[in-house]
Amino acid sequence: MTEDGPFFHGTKADLSVGDLLTAGFRSNYRPEVVMNHIYFTAVADGAGLAAELAPGDEAPRVYIVEPTGAFEDDPNVTDKKFPGNPTRSYRSSDPLRVVGETDEWTRQTPEGLATWRDRLAVLREDERGTIIN
Protein backbone atom coordinates (compact mmCIF):
# COMPACT_ATOMS: atom_id res chain seq x y z
CA MET A 1 0.00 0.00 0.00
CA THR A 2 1.34 3.42 -0.91
CA GLU A 3 0.79 6.26 1.54
CA ASP A 4 -0.80 9.42 0.13
CA GLY A 5 -0.16 11.74 3.08
CA PRO A 6 -0.38 14.32 4.37
CA PHE A 7 3.24 14.03 5.42
CA PHE A 8 5.13 15.81 8.18
CA HIS A 9 8.74 16.62 9.04
CA GLY A 10 9.79 17.83 12.49
CA THR A 11 12.74 20.14 12.98
CA LYS A 12 13.90 23.24 14.81
CA ALA A 13 14.77 24.99 11.54
CA ASP A 14 12.77 28.07 10.53
CA LEU A 15 11.50 27.20 7.05
CA SER A 16 9.16 28.76 4.51
CA VAL A 17 6.63 27.33 2.08
CA GLY A 18 8.53 26.20 -1.01
CA ASP A 19 11.79 25.41 0.82
CA LEU A 20 13.33 22.03 0.07
CA LEU A 21 14.56 19.65 2.75
CA THR A 22 17.41 17.52 1.48
CA ALA A 23 19.62 14.67 2.61
CA GLY A 24 23.31 15.22 3.30
CA PHE A 25 23.14 16.70 6.80
CA ARG A 26 24.17 15.23 10.15
CA SER A 27 21.71 13.03 11.99
CA ASN A 28 19.86 14.60 14.91
CA TYR A 29 20.33 11.39 16.87
CA ARG A 30 23.82 10.33 15.79
CA PRO A 31 25.73 13.49 14.82
CA GLU A 32 28.72 11.51 13.56
CA VAL A 33 26.51 10.18 10.72
CA VAL A 34 25.74 12.18 7.57
CA MET A 35 22.30 11.21 6.33
CA ASN A 36 21.76 9.79 2.83
CA HIS A 37 18.00 10.22 3.16
CA ILE A 38 15.49 12.78 4.43
CA TYR A 39 12.98 11.29 6.87
CA PHE A 40 9.28 12.07 7.29
CA THR A 41 6.07 10.58 8.63
CA ALA A 42 2.34 10.59 8.10
CA VAL A 43 1.89 11.08 11.88
CA ALA A 44 2.11 14.71 13.04
CA ASP A 45 2.85 13.69 16.65
CA GLY A 46 5.81 11.61 15.44
CA ALA A 47 7.21 14.61 13.57
CA GLY A 48 6.62 16.72 16.67
CA LEU A 49 8.62 14.31 18.81
CA ALA A 50 11.47 14.43 16.27
CA ALA A 51 11.36 18.23 16.37
CA GLU A 52 11.46 18.31 20.16
CA LEU A 53 14.41 15.90 20.24
CA ALA A 54 16.39 17.78 17.59
CA PRO A 55 19.45 19.61 18.91
CA GLY A 56 19.35 23.36 19.50
CA ASP A 57 17.43 25.88 21.55
CA GLU A 58 15.04 26.96 18.79
CA ALA A 59 11.34 26.16 19.00
CA PRO A 60 10.31 22.75 17.63
CA ARG A 61 8.29 23.00 14.42
CA VAL A 62 6.28 20.55 12.35
CA TYR A 63 6.07 21.18 8.63
CA ILE A 64 3.67 19.68 6.15
CA VAL A 65 5.81 18.33 3.33
CA GLU A 66 5.44 16.62 -0.01
CA PRO A 67 7.98 14.21 -1.44
CA THR A 68 9.45 15.31 -4.78
CA GLY A 69 10.43 11.76 -5.75
CA ALA A 70 10.24 8.16 -4.72
CA PHE A 71 10.14 7.18 -1.04
CA GLU A 72 10.13 3.99 0.98
CA ASP A 73 9.25 2.74 4.45
CA ASP A 74 11.95 3.75 6.93
CA PRO A 75 13.82 0.46 7.41
CA ASN A 76 15.40 1.74 10.64
CA VAL A 77 11.96 1.63 12.24
CA THR A 78 9.93 -0.86 10.23
CA ASP A 79 12.48 -3.66 9.88
CA LYS A 80 14.16 -3.30 13.26
CA LYS A 81 11.37 -2.28 15.60
CA PHE A 82 7.86 -2.27 14.12
CA PRO A 83 7.26 -4.67 11.20
CA GLY A 84 4.60 -3.41 8.83
CA ASN A 85 5.28 0.30 9.43
CA PRO A 86 2.58 1.14 12.01
CA THR A 87 4.53 4.37 12.72
CA ARG A 88 3.98 5.40 9.07
CA SER A 89 7.63 6.50 8.84
CA TYR A 90 9.33 7.03 5.47
CA ARG A 91 12.55 8.17 3.86
CA SER A 92 13.61 9.51 0.50
CA SER A 93 16.87 10.42 -1.18
CA ASP A 94 14.92 13.09 -3.09
CA PRO A 95 14.01 16.41 -1.45
CA LEU A 96 10.83 17.14 0.47
CA ARG A 97 9.02 20.39 -0.36
CA VAL A 98 7.57 22.41 2.52
CA VAL A 99 3.91 23.14 1.76
CA GLY A 100 2.83 24.43 5.17
CA GLU A 101 3.27 24.26 8.91
CA THR A 102 1.01 22.83 11.59
CA ASP A 103 0.76 23.39 15.31
CA GLU A 104 -1.67 20.49 15.73
CA TRP A 105 0.62 17.97 17.37
CA THR A 106 1.03 16.80 20.94
CA ARG A 107 3.91 18.35 22.88
CA GLN A 108 5.93 16.16 25.20
CA THR A 109 6.15 16.94 28.90
CA PRO A 110 9.64 17.69 30.24
CA GLU A 111 9.56 14.25 31.87
CA GLY A 112 8.52 12.62 28.60
CA LEU A 113 11.36 14.32 26.73
CA ALA A 114 13.84 13.23 29.39
CA THR A 115 12.64 9.64 28.98
CA TRP A 116 13.06 9.81 25.19
CA ARG A 117 16.53 11.33 25.53
CA ASP A 118 17.49 8.56 27.96
CA ARG A 119 16.25 5.95 25.46
CA LEU A 120 18.34 7.50 22.69
CA ALA A 121 21.39 7.55 24.94
CA VAL A 122 20.92 3.83 25.67
CA LEU A 123 20.63 3.09 21.95
CA ARG A 124 23.85 5.00 21.27
CA GLU A 125 25.55 3.17 24.13
CA ASP A 126 24.42 -0.19 22.75
CA GLU A 127 25.76 0.72 19.30
CA ARG A 128 29.16 2.03 20.41
CA GLY A 129 29.70 0.90 23.98
CA THR A 130 29.69 4.47 25.36
CA ILE A 131 27.06 7.10 25.91
CA ILE A 132 27.38 10.20 23.75
CA ASN A 133 25.33 13.23 24.73
Name the pTM for this structure: 0.80
Residue 129 confidence class, pLDDT cut points 50, 70, 90: very low
Lowest-confidence region among 1-5, 45-49, 74-78:
1-5
Residue 78 confidence class, pLDDT cut points 50, 70, 90: low
Residue 2 confidence class, pLDDT cut points 50, 70, 90: low
Q: Residue 55 belongs to a domain with what CATH number?
A: 3.20.170.40
Count structural domains, the chain.
Answer: 1
| Residue range of the domain that includes 42 | 7-128
Residue 14 has pLDDT above 50, yes or no: yes
Element (H, E) at 44: helix 44-53
User: % helix / strand / coil in the chain, to the nearest 5?
Assistant: 25, 25, 50
Residue 29 lies in a domain: yes
Pairwise CA distance, residues 26 & 78, whole Å = 21
Residue 119: φ, ψ to 5°: -60, -45
